[in-house]
Structure 1
């Protein structure tokens, strides 16, 4: 009986250790440089396991779920465009941190493909003596300069994790709050709970592994001429003009190009104050 009891305890410990812990952050952003009153707020997940962590938008998972359900129930006919619009996210990227090799992998979509790069800039933290309490956690202050912004973070050692939202890591605890000096971006831990495993994420298009500097260049190319950029993407086969909603045949390619460029310009304006300025 004693052996069975010890085995059960070991098994329970293994199951508990294998679980993934989800930390929910409220992300507050002012992505439009021309309108700082345009404040966006949404939730993002930091899922942490023994091997890695993933940071991504809550709406990303919800959108993926809606798309899967729509395709299963009849494809385009079952597509709920209004529902998808309500789940639009400013956080279109994801960040994966691998604990074994200490690598931070960033993924984002440009056009119809996904670009991924390994972060090549270290986070050099200055840990200060100032402490306070945020919610139920005792936290300590730290500062760093990263991506053209000065960040203040508050981390706790009450939890057994050395991680944080976005690319933040390297502190002797979990980041409970992080905010840049201008107040344009902030991450606030709201709650945490256990999940069975990392969720399955849809990945449409090719995955392009590049250097960070090349990723920035591709972003600029897309913004300057989105149609030419998408036509040049491997395996895309160019842009197929969509059918007219009124059943009047294919749309004019020139009109489609103009609308696409207007949409990208509007997106660029709405995201003219990115989280990384350089």
Structure 2
């Protein structure tokens, strides 16, 4: 395992003293099982010790870019495309009761679901130093995958990247057994306050299984979400609203583009 140097600019004993902290993770993922090329980007875990937000770095950059574009009224789609992420979600955790809210967009609408994932961690005897931290290995099964995590008790925070939490210390690294997904802590720094990505409009909260059904419908017929949704009305593909109109050729091109994009995301982090 390649050891990554962790640049720490915050004294760890002060972490829980009501200061906000940003843990920067390098995320390596294989979203397309038919293409072994791995994608790499960074993600942030922002926390004040009571709650945390996990989201892609590009999400924050897109928010800043959108603010500048609105201020200058100069919209550049190319710049926005360059900041696309393979992690198009935000996870807000309540660290007190180990619950979370998963937020993402399907079509034109924003959806969320609540979850209290149970991680049956098996703490293993293996220890290794990763960067500046002495870590211990643990194993669990989640979302149809076997996961291995390395946590450190030097940071007394029962949290980690994505939905992972519940170990007696911060998760410094976590990866699945197949090597499709890996989260590696790269940097720790103080921030003025816990941030969450900007949102426009309301989230439609669904049970997790209903959210999964909505995602499957979108994957089968993505254009129906755009042709029938009323720009954030939250009525899904059967809502009967009036969305943007496309000429047949434009609609066909858009359909092909979206189908290709969906096809390239056939290896989700949660398989079930």
- Give the shorter-chain TM-score range: 0.7 to 0.9
Residue 247 of structure 1 is matched in structure 2 by: none
Do 1:157 and 1:172's aligned partners in 2 also have CA atoms closer than 8 Å? Answer: yes
In structure 2, do the counterparts of structure 1 residues 192 and 265 end up closer, same or farther at CA, with 3 Å as the change threshold? same
Alignment pair present for 1:149 and 2:149: no
Alignment of 1:198-277 (within 5 A): 198-199=194-195, 201-230=197-226, 231-232=228-229, 235=233, 237-241=241-245, 251-252=246-247, 254-277=248-271
Match of 1:190 among 180, 186, 193: 186
Residue 49 of structure 1 is matched in structure 2 by: 48
Residue 65 of structure 1 is matched in structure 2 by: 64
Residue 7 of structure 2 is matched in structure 1 by: none
Residue 91 of structure 2 is matched in structure 1 by: 95
In structure 2, do the counterparts of structure 1 residues 198 and 144 end up closer, same or farther at CA, with 3 Å as the change threshold? same
* Residue segments in structure 1 that go unaligned for 5+ positions in a row: 1-12, 242-250
Alignment of 1:169-180 (within 5 A): 169-180=165-176
Which structure's relative contact order is higher, taking Cα pairs within 8 Å and 6+ residues apart? 2
> Per-residue deviation at 1:15?
11
Instruction: Decide which structure has the larger Cα Rg and report it.
Output: 1
Residue 122 of structure 2 is matched in structure 1 by: 126
Residue 163 of structure 2 is matched in structure 1 by: 167
**Between structures 1 and 2, the one with greater helix share:** 1
CA distance in 1 between counterparts of 2:116 and 2:97 reads 13
Do 2:95 and 2:159's aligned partners in 1 also have CA atoms closer than 8 Å? Answer: no
Q: What SS does structure 2 have at the residue aligned with 1:17? A: coil
Alignment pair present for 1:17 and 2:11: no
TM-score, normalised relative to structure 1: 0.85
TM-score, normalised relative to structure 2: 0.87
CA distance in 1 between counterparts of 2:132 and 2:117 reads 32
Aligned alpha-carbon RMSD (Å): 2.0
Do 1:112 and 1:204's aligned partners in 2 also have CA atoms closer than 8 Å? Answer: no
Do 1:123 and 1:170's aligned partners in 2 also have CA atoms closer than 8 Å? Answer: yes
Do 2:93 and 2:100's aligned partners in 1 also have CA atoms closer than 8 Å? Answer: yes
Total equivalences in the alignment:
252
In structure 2, do the counterparts of structure 1 residues 276 and 211 end up closer, same or farther at CA, with 3 Å as the change threshold? same
In structure 2, do the counterparts of structure 1 residues 15 and 214 end up closer, same or farther at CA, with 3 Å as the change threshold? closer
In structure 2, do the counterparts of structure 1 residues 207 and 45 end up closer, same or farther at CA, with 3 Å as the change threshold? same
* Residue segments in structure 2 that go unaligned for 5+ positions in a row: 1-12, 235-240
Do 1:120 and 1:212's aligned partners in 2 also have CA atoms closer than 8 Å? Answer: no
Do 1:157 and 1:174's aligned partners in 2 also have CA atoms closer than 8 Å? Answer: yes
In structure 2, do the counterparts of structure 1 residues 87 and 232 end up closer, same or farther at CA, with 3 Å as the change threshold? closer
Moved over 3 A (4+): 13-16
CA distance in 2 between counterparts of 1:129 and 1:40 reads 31
